Amino acid sequence: METRLVVSSSPHLKTPESIQSVMTDVLLALFPAAIAGVVFFGWMGLLTMVLCMVSAMVTEAVILRQKNIFGDGSAAVTGLLLAMTLPPAPPWWLTVIGGVVAIVIGKQVFGGIGNNIFNPALVARAILMVSWAGHMTGWLSPVDLVSTATPLPLAARGVSTSFLSLFIGTVPGCIGETSAFALLLGAAWLFYKGHICWRIPGGYIGVVFLMGMFFGGMGSLATMVSVGLFHVLAGGVMLGALYMATDWVSSPVTPRGKLIFGIGCGIITMLVRLYGMYPEGVTFAILLMNAVTPLIDRATLPRKFGEVTK
């Protein structure tokens, strides 16, 4: 035989999925929310997203000395996710710094893809938020692009926002977080492809809802439910629960661990929202739970087949 055969370990069948294809799936899933961002916040939203993605991808390509700027697609996802957590019209340099920080501090110092302990986009957002709090809270109303406050602090002052606008996304907020509808649409795609499971988002959103219900101010059942629902829809919980907390690398790998992770995120988010200094706690909550992920994994190793329980 003239051709040499390939010898490798079994199995000899492999799934067609690759890291690149999965990252493309995630980008597709973020597409509806990105469209919503552009629709609501105009060309500034688009510019921010593009700038952030490019800055992240270029940084990664430079560090890894790779010619293909898209690479495995993970930098693009990080960049887009970061852009979605930025306010609608940040200064351009803020966006660029964010992309660089996300890739360098959030990812490459840990050894690159797969090794980052924390969600790179959230690391960058947290650093930006601490550094330039003013720029990071420059909210615009999506209707007329006038500066305004987001629903969460408004609610604290007693101003309510309609559920419909929260669901559609016609409320002030970060570029990608306002439209629950678009986020759910993209998440449905990820569910369909089997890239995320219900445990993290379910635990997260469930706890936010319940804590919103019982600690957000007592009242009649209807009020309590609406407060719970408000907390789920307002702010970054949807984006965080569906896209940030479910980030493979920085979340637990065991089924039980995932549920614990989601619940933990929910509790910390609500603690920050209800009792803390910051109006929103999603970033802190997910970063904190990222930090304890290795411990959660250790503690929740599944019972192996045939293990005799003592």
Partner 1 sequence: MSVMKDLSRGIIRDNAVFRLVLGLCPTLAVTGTAENGLGMGLSATAVLVCSNLVVAALRNVIPNKIRIPCFIVIIATFVTMVDMLLNAFLPALHAQLGIFVPLIVVNCVILGRAEAFASRNPVLNSAADGIGIGLGFTLALTTLGAVRELLSKGTIFHANILGSGYQPFQVFGFPPGAFIALGLMLALFNMLSRKFRLE
Partner 2 sequence: MLIAIISLGGLGLLFGGILAFASQKFAVEVDPRVEMVQEALLGANCGACGYAGCSKFAEEVVAGNAPLGGCTPGGAKTAARIAEILGQVAPETEARLVAQLVCLGDCSVAKDKFIYHGVPDCKAAMMYSGGSKACRFGCLGLGTCARVCPFDAITMSEKGLPIIDADKCTGCAKCRNSCPKQVIDMINARTFHYVRCKSTDKGKQVREVCERGCIGCGICVKNCPQKAIRLENNLAIIDSFICNNCGKCVEVCPRDTIV
Partner 3 sequence: MGNIIVIIFGAIFINNFVLSRFLGLCPYFGVSKKVETSIGMGMAVTFVMTMASLVTWLLEWFVLVPNNLQYLRTIVFILVIAALVQFVEIVMRKVAPALYEALGIFLPLITTNCAVLGVAILNIQIGYNLFEALVFAVAAAAGFTLALVILAGIRERLELAFISRHFRGVALSLIIAGILSIAFMGFQGMM
CB of 9 to partner 2, least distance (A): 5
Is-cis flag, bond preceding 91, omega within 30? no
Q: How many angstroms separate the CA atoms of 249 and 260, rounded? A: 16
Per CB under 8 A, the segment of 2-10, 124-132, 170-178, 274-282 that binds partner 2 is 2-10
Binding of residue 114 to partner 3 (CB under 8 A): yes
**Residue 4 vs residues 9, 14, 52: alpha-carbon distances, Å:** 16, 21, 46
**Residue 308 vs residues 154, 156, 303, 305: alpha-carbon distances, Å:** 55, 53, 9, 9
Residue 281 binds which entry of partner 2, partner 1, partner 3, none, CB below 5-8 Å type-dependent: partner 3
Binding of residue 251 to partner 3 (CB under 8 A): no
Q: How many angstroms separate the CA atoms of 258 and 111, rounded? A: 24
- If the CB atoms of residues 3 and 220 are measured against partner 2, the closer one turns out to be 3
CB of 292 to partner 3, least distance (A): 6
Binding of residue 61 to partner 1 (CB under 8 A): no
Binding of residue 294 to partner 3 (CB under 8 A): yes
Number of Cβ within 10 Å of residue 271's Cβ equals 15
DSSP calls for 73-121 = SHHHHHHHHHHHTS-SS--HHHHHHHHHHHHHTTTGGGTSTTT-SS-HH
Binding of residue 255 to partner 1 (CB under 8 A): no
* Residue of the chain from 110, 132, 189, 191 that contacts partner 1 (CB under 8 A): 132
The separation between the first and the last C-alpha atoms of the chain, rounded to the nearest angstrom, is: 57
Angle at the Cα of 165 (from 273 to 196), degrees rounded to 5? 65
Token digits of residue 302: 């599944």
- If the CB atoms of residues 16 and 134 are measured against partner 1, the closer one turns out to be 134
Binding of residue 15 to partner 2 (CB under 8 A): no
Binding of residue 4 to partner 2 (CB under 8 A): yes
3 state SS of 14: coil
* Residue of the chain from 5, 6, 13, 130 that contacts partner 1 (CB under 8 A): 130
Binding of residue 93 to partner 1 (CB under 8 A): yes
CB of 131 to partner 1, least distance (A): 4
**Residue 121 vs residues 203, 238, 275: alpha-carbon distances, Å:** 22, 16, 25
CB of 283 to partner 3, least distance (A): 7
Binding of residue 214 to partner 3 (CB under 8 A): no
Contact 54, 79 (CB under 8 A): yes
* Residue of the chain from 137, 226, 278, 300 that contacts partner 3 (CB under 8 A): 278
* Residue of the chain from 7, 130, 146, 164 that contacts partner 2 (CB under 8 A): 7
Please report, as ranges, the residues that interact with partner 1 according to CB under 8 A. Answer: 91, 93, 105, 109, 127, 130-133, 135
> Which residues sit at the interface with partner 2, rule CB under 8 A?
4-9
